[in-house]
Chain A
Amino acid sequence: MNEMELLNWVRGPGLNIAVAVFLLGTIWRLFEIYSLGRKQDLSAPRNAAGASGWHTVVRRSMPPPGMLKRSPVSYIGGYAFHIGLAIVVFLFAPHIVLIENLIGLSWPALPSQVVDLAAVVTMAAMVLVLVDRINKPVKRFLSTFEDYFTWAVTFLPVLTGYLAVQHLLLPYTTMLALHILSVEILLVVLPFTKLFHVFTLFASRWYNGNANAHKGVPV
């Protein structure tokens, strides 16, 4: 298979397979998790201002008092790479064109220099959180193969995308094919690893906020 054939495969059958696994996997996983249900709380509720599941969904994006100081890399690195990823994925012109072709929706893009910068910041932040994971006793202790694997699976699309745009290392066609392939691997892996938190975290925050709101505690 030469690079043109590879590119054609990842743009055609590869993409279809990846998207199908991603969509079906996500639906299945969401069903598997949320169909477990939960018991109704029979205790008399207490109401308090600012306490609800929805409040927590939003509020938990901010570090609680004292936490930024205790783990600055987690927060700063975490913000940088999540926001960076969102910019790179959703505000890069070619990505918007792709999405428009797939589902018909489109929105304005950021200038490519800005996206380039976001990609560099994202990669730097990801390296930083990886180093932190290896260095910090708690993170190292908690980490399993999955943590490193999902890191790599997330990092590669950004790296290959950046290299492709910059025409570095490999011919553009090859790098572009590798970029699309790495995204497809990410899509396939996402529903079945901790990367699935992109969906579940909203429900988790809501459950937590809802349970505590029942007691009148905004969390």
Chain B
Amino acid sequence: MSASLEKGVAVLKEMIDAPIASYFNSCVHCGLCAEACLFYTETGDPKYTPIHKLEPLRRIYEQEYTLLGKLAKMVGLSKPVTDNELEEWKELVYNSCTLCARCSLVCPVGNDIVYMVRKFREGMAVSGHAPEGLIGATTRAIEIGSPMGVKLPAVQAQMKHVHKDVGIEIPMDQEGAEYMVLLSSMEIMNFPEYLGAIAKIMKQAGKTWTLCSTAFEATNSGIQIGSSDLAKVIVNRIVEGAERLKVKTVISPECGHAYTALRWDGANLVGRPFSFKVLHILEVLDEFRAQGLLKTEGFEMDRMTFHDPCQLVRRGGVVQQPRNLMNMVAKDFVEMEDAGKYNWCCGGGGGVSANEDAEELRLQVFKIKKGQLEKTGAKTMVTACANCRIILEEGLEHYQMDIPVVGLTEMIAEHLAESKS
């Protein structure tokens, strides 16, 4: 057994807890999780059955934590997990799972399969079986500060740009501001409209806010690759920044995994509850709306639909807010089939989009989204995750569908009532 494999197995042993043991003992091989997984439904290949993606972890559980499994291991009746096997499982664990968790919602015995995939990735990463693309993104996040290699000067350049564009100065490192706004690299590089939108919305609401020079990046590829150590380093930057600036609330941007990383995993990664609140930008906007601080005018007349980012909706609980906001500015808002917590993933979450090997498969499984979208007859797709947005754009282009994809925050900003600040 190689040293890295030994470490990986040790990590997996540590990952196994009562829920995982309960889940493995409950599985009756009914295969219903496959029917919930776009990688199976769109390819018909049984190897993409979610529970099968965990087979090496299941064997480690059995061999290490059950009496019969230990006996079987002792007399050589059970197959040890090998490097070759884990390498073979890389495709299943990283390329064909977006951590979307639809399987966790349909399993009749109640297994939270994605919980196990996330834990399994910890062992995969340590044993050296994580994909190159994700390793690169995570290394950049640790060394440079962002997975796409974005540094502070790029943010500052964008701040100036936005200042010129919308005429509002972007605050940086303002102690005592109510909100600290985070960005995702994707927004800094590809969707600069986001920052301008925030500036306009905050101005209208009369709220104080700030960016943070030491923590502007919200995304966390550490949780995608499955490395709690790295994820902790990345989350810690935000925690330190928020505490230094004494903000009340940190706003997670339009990025699904950033939200999961900070809102749900964050406190567990740093080992203590946060002293500040974490909200997704849509939660903030919906609060403003409810308080009468968000005033819009005019409507989009085209038929529009909303793509639920898995991490925000099914895994995040932000379900109603996007609906409220859509209805503020869209006259013809229609839902896709299975909208809300049963939505189908764009196919690029969970680090899949950072993984070149997965591209072909990702475009293949996009068929489900394509079909859903076609049924609605929508002319525009709105979402609230920069990664979903890129993936949707790529998928739509691949299938030659001329449908623009828009960020919800930005769309709201375009309809802000021009009046008092």
Q: Are A36 and B111 in contact (CB under 8 A)?
A: no
Q: Are A141 and B268 in contact (CB under 8 A)?
A: no
**Is A197 on the interface with B (CB-CB < 8 A)?**
yes
| A7-52, CB < 8 A from B | 28-29, 32-39, 41-44, 46, 48
Chain A 37-70 near chain B by CB (<8 Å), digits 1 or 0: 1110111101010000000110011011111001
Chain B 27-48 near chain A by CB (<8 Å), digits 1 or 0: 1111110111000100010110
**Is A174 on the interface with B (CB-CB < 8 A)?**
no
**Is A203 on the interface with B (CB-CB < 8 A)?**
yes
**Is B51 on the interface with A (CB-CB < 8 A)?**
yes
How far does the Cβ of B110 sit from chain A's closest Cβ, in whole Å?
3
- Measured in the bound complex, the distance between the Cα atoms of B113 and A208 in whole Å is 9
Residues of A within 8 A of B35 (CB): 67, 70-71, 138
Q: Are A219 and B29 in contact (CB under 8 A)?
A: no
Residue of B whose beta carbon sits closest to that of A133: B29
Which of B25, B109, B342 contacts A64, CB < 8 Å?
Answer: B342
| B272-323, CB < 8 A from A | 272-274, 277-278, 314-317, 319
How far does the Cβ of B54 sit from chain A's closest Cβ, in whole Å?
12
- Measured in the bound complex, the distance between the Cα atoms of B23 and A196 in whole Å is 11
- Measured in the bound complex, the distance between the Cα atoms of B19 and A204 in whole Å is 6
Which of B27, B266, B317, B337 contacts A48, CB < 8 Å?
Answer: B317
Residues of B within 8 A of A57 (CB): 110
**Is B17 on the interface with A (CB-CB < 8 A)?**
yes
Residues of A within 8 A of B26 (CB): 197, 200-201, 204
- Measured in the bound complex, the distance between the Cα atoms of B17 and A39 in whole Å is 8
- Interface size bracket, A side: 35 or more
Residue of A whose beta carbon sits closest to that of B51: A142
- 13 A-B pairs in the complex with CB atoms less than 8 angstroms apart: A39-B17, A43-B267, A43-B274, A136-B31, A141-B47, A194-B25, A194-B27, A197-B109, A200-B25, A204-B19, A204-B25, A215-B316, A217-B316
How far does the Cβ of B29 sit from chain A's closest Cβ, in whole Å?
4
Given contacts A38-B19, A141-B47, A142-B31, whether A215 and B264 have CB atoms under 8 Å apart is yes
Residues of B within 8 A of A61 (CB): 108
Q: Are A137 and B44 in contact (CB under 8 A)?
A: yes
Which of B29, B34, B110 contacts A204, CB < 8 Å?
Answer: B110
**Is B246 on the interface with A (CB-CB < 8 A)?**
no
Known pairs A43-B263, A71-B31, A137-B46 / 18 extra A-B pairs, C-beta < 8 Å? A34-B22, A36-B20, A42-B267, A48-B317, A60-B107, A60-B110, A138-B46, A138-B49, A141-B49, A194-B28, A197-B25, A200-B25, A207-B18, A207-B19, A207-B110, A209-B110, A214-B264, A215-B317
Binding site for B on A (CB under 8 A): 28-29, 32-39, 41-44, 46, 48, 56-57, 60-61, 63-67, 70-71, 74, 78, 133, 136-144, 147, 192, 194, 196-197, 200-201, 203-209, 211-212, 214-219
- Measured in the bound complex, the distance between the Cα atoms of B105 and A36 in whole Å is 24
- Measured in the bound complex, the distance between the Cα atoms of B30 and A57 in whole Å is 18
Which of B40, B67, B108, B316 contacts A28, CB < 8 Å?
Answer: B67
Q: Are B67 and A32 in contact (CB under 8 A)?
A: yes
**Is B16 on the interface with A (CB-CB < 8 A)?**
yes
Q: Are B31 and A74 in contact (CB under 8 A)?
A: yes
Main secondary structure of the interface of A (DSSP, over half): helix
Q: Are A205 and B109 in contact (CB under 8 A)?
A: yes
Residues of B within 8 A of A63 (CB): 108
Residues of A within 8 A of B278 (CB): 44
Residues of A within 8 A of B19 (CB): 38, 204, 207-208, 211
**Is B104 on the interface with A (CB-CB < 8 A)?**
yes
Residues of B within 8 A of A74 (CB): 30-32
Q: Are B104 and A208 in contact (CB under 8 A)?
A: yes
How far does the Cβ of B343 sit from chain A's closest Cβ, in whole Å?
11
Which of B108, B263, B277 contacts A78, CB < 8 Å?
Answer: B108
- Measured in the bound complex, the distance between the Cα atoms of B263 and A42 in whole Å is 10
**Is B76 on the interface with A (CB-CB < 8 A)?**
no
- Measured in the bound complex, the distance between the Cα atoms of B124 and A184 in whole Å is 42
Chain B 49-83 near chain A by CB (<8 Å), digits 1 or 0: 10110000000000001111000000000000000
Residues of A within 8 A of B317 (CB): 46, 48, 215-217
Residue of B whose beta carbon sits closest to that of A199: B25
- Measured in the bound complex, the distance between the Cα atoms of B265 and A208 in whole Å is 16
- Of B16, B30, B36, B267, the most chain A CB neighbours within 10 A belong to B30
- Measured in the bound complex, the distance between the Cα atoms of B319 and A68 in whole Å is 24
